[in-house]
Amino acid sequence: MATLITIIHVIVCLILIVAVLLQSGKSADLAGAFGGGGSQSVFGPRGATSLLSKVTTASAVIFMLTSMGLWIVSAQGSKSVVSGEEAPAVTETQQVPENDPNPAAATPAEDPEKKADEEKTAETEKKPGEEKTGENKS
């Protein structure tokens, strides 16, 4: 069923492309390119519809119907393309290739400000009975 709808869809698509490209625009002359034809209504004058116009309308309607048909057919067999596959294992360590020309770039550099802050907090968190280094006894 899906194959038949797809074939009809492609044929109608090609007919629609050809029908639209064969039609001339509302202002196909040189004056239309520079804003001429201002006395026409918003959508242009409505004359008798040509065969090409009817073909365009019919193929557009059929194109929309086949699009919705393909959508419905595809929803009936809703299968995942990755069903049965397992997710890759997550590793927390980053491995450095052996032939890496700059192995230091793989390891983060130590932040000197962070190190100084850690030393300050270590001094202030000492037990009350312990002496702090650098203090004078009076």
Domain boundaries, the chain: 1-23+52-75
Helices (H), 1-138: 2-22, 30-33, 51-76, 112-124
Tell me the whole-structure pTM to 2 decimals. 0.46
What is the rounded average pLDDT of the residues 11-37?
A: 76
pLDDT tens by residue, 80-119? 667 777 777 777 766 666 676 665 555 555 666 666 677 7
More confident residue, 133 or 8: 8
How far is the first Cα of the chain from the last one, in angstroms, to the nearest whole number? 97
Which three-class secondary structure state does DSSP give residue 126? coil
What is the rounded average pLDDT of the residues 40-46?
A: 57
Alpha-carbon torsion angle 16, 18, 21, 26, nearest 10:
-60
pLDDT tens by residue, 49-70? 788 989 999 999 999 999 999 9
